[in-house]
Structure 1
Amino acid sequence: MVVLETERLVLRPLTGEDFDDYAAMLADPQVVGGLAESVGTSPADAWRSLALFIGHREMRGYSHWALVEKATGRFVGRAGPWQPHGFPGLGVGWCLAREHWGKGYATEAARASLDYCLRELGAEEVISVILPGNSPSIAVAERIGHRYLRDIQYRGQTVHLYGQRLSSK
């Protein structure tokens, strides 16, 4: 899996070395409460979640990257392409530690992830699944060019499906 760089972030593959920072991020109920994928806040939940993303990379060849702040080298979250079994299409998603909310990192990482999906994965359509009421994630989706498509049922809950098609294909 490639390493990407944006203006302020390095997007590199998630590894087991990220566990402590990842677990700290998912220990925050406000962070977990915004995720369409059901995740708990315990270290064991974080372990399973991290293993899921690493396993997805092994199975699909792509997954969420660790987001690392260039200026400090600090782990700030995860973002990237995502299409596990049963997901409604090739998606991009993001999750940031709360202390990094409001800095524009989610938009920066989501934009790089979208570009990767279109350029490197040859996607004609890219989606994001967002919980109703998660206005910060809806704003990120809209900033990267996604538009509301419809509500769908995903894993027993109603979620918003945002997305866009590559118009030249």
Structure 2
Amino acid sequence: MERPMTFSAVPPVSSPPVLDTPRLILEGHPLGDFDALATMWAEPGVVAHIFNGTPSTPRDSWMRMLAYRGLWPLLGYGYWAIREKASGRYVGDLGFADFHRNIDPPIRGVPEAGWALATWAQGNGYATEALAAALAWLDAQQRFERSVCLIAPTNVASIRVAEKAGYGEPRRIRFNDADSLMFSRKRR
């Protein structure tokens, strides 16, 4: 069982590593991505299975972007901005966090994978491609025995992405007064 990390156990990471896939680039969120990020998080098709389907306000998106940047120096891992390599267009967000969720079983100290893609980018295999790169990076760090992800049971597309990436053993849990599935993946 993983123990919660202490701050002194975290290797210093001032910014996210850049990950390159055949079609995508994963990098830190530059300030210039804010408008695209805020637009994406306000799309009903993006939040349909999270936040009770409530689109994010620009302030919510600003706080999210600040959190994304803050995860890296605090935890040594975090979220990337996903960008199409050919066009440079912002695709969405993907990465790992420890949100200190009050759930059973507890997952504090375990990287929790998450992803959100703009509606125009959904259905192209981008989430699968980006998650594979992020998990390869996380596995190479040799710091964690496993990672988890929480997905709404109605989010069939994200369940498929998680399963393709090797997440399994779904466990039904309650989170924010809603049913959720917690998937787990062992380090490879």
The answer to whether TM tops 0.5 is yes
Distance in structure 2 (CA, Å) of the matches to 1:58 and 1:139: 31
Once the two structures are TM-superposed, the CA of residue 104 in structure 1 deviates from its matched residue by 0.4
Structure number with greater Rg is 2
2:5 matched to which residue of 1?
A: none
Contact 1:36–1:131 under 8 Å retained in 2: no
- Code of the residue aligned with 1:13 in structure 2: it is G
Q: Work out whether 1:145 is the aligned partner of 2:153.
A: no
- Code of the residue aligned with 2:145 in structure 1: it is E
Contact 1:14–1:54 under 8 Å retained in 2: yes
Contact 2:44–2:54 under 8 Å retained in 1: no
Correspondent of 1:24 among 33, 39, 45 = 39
TM-score, scaled to structure 1? 0.89
- Quick one: percent identity of the two aligned structures? 34
- Cα 1:91–1:38, aligned 2, differ >3 Å: closer, same or farther? farther
Contact 1:39–1:49 under 8 Å retained in 2: no
Correspondent of 2:70 among 40, 55, 65 = 55
The two structures, once aligned, show a CA RMSD in angstroms of: 2.0
Q: Work out whether 1:164 is the aligned partner of 2:179.
A: no
1:85 aligns to what SS in structure 2?
coil
Unaligned 5+ runs, structure 1: none
1:66 matched to which residue of 2?
A: 81
Unaligned 5+ runs, structure 2: 1-15
- In the TM superposition, 1:1-169 aligns within 5 A as 1-35=16-50, 40-86=55-101, 88=107, 89-166=110-187
- Cα 1:137–1:82, aligned 2, differ >3 Å: closer, same or farther? same
1:118 aligns to what SS in structure 2?
helix
- Cα 1:76–1:108, aligned 2, differ >3 Å: closer, same or farther? same
Once the two structures are TM-superposed, the CA of residue 56 in structure 1 deviates from its matched residue by 1.8
- Cα 1:3–1:121, aligned 2, differ >3 Å: closer, same or farther? farther
- Cα 1:37–1:16, aligned 2, differ >3 Å: closer, same or farther? farther
- Between 1:55-64 and 1:10-19, the stretch displaced more is 55-64
Distance in structure 2 (CA, Å) of the matches to 1:122 and 1:37: 33
Q: Which runs of 4+ in 1 moved over 3 A?
A: 36-40
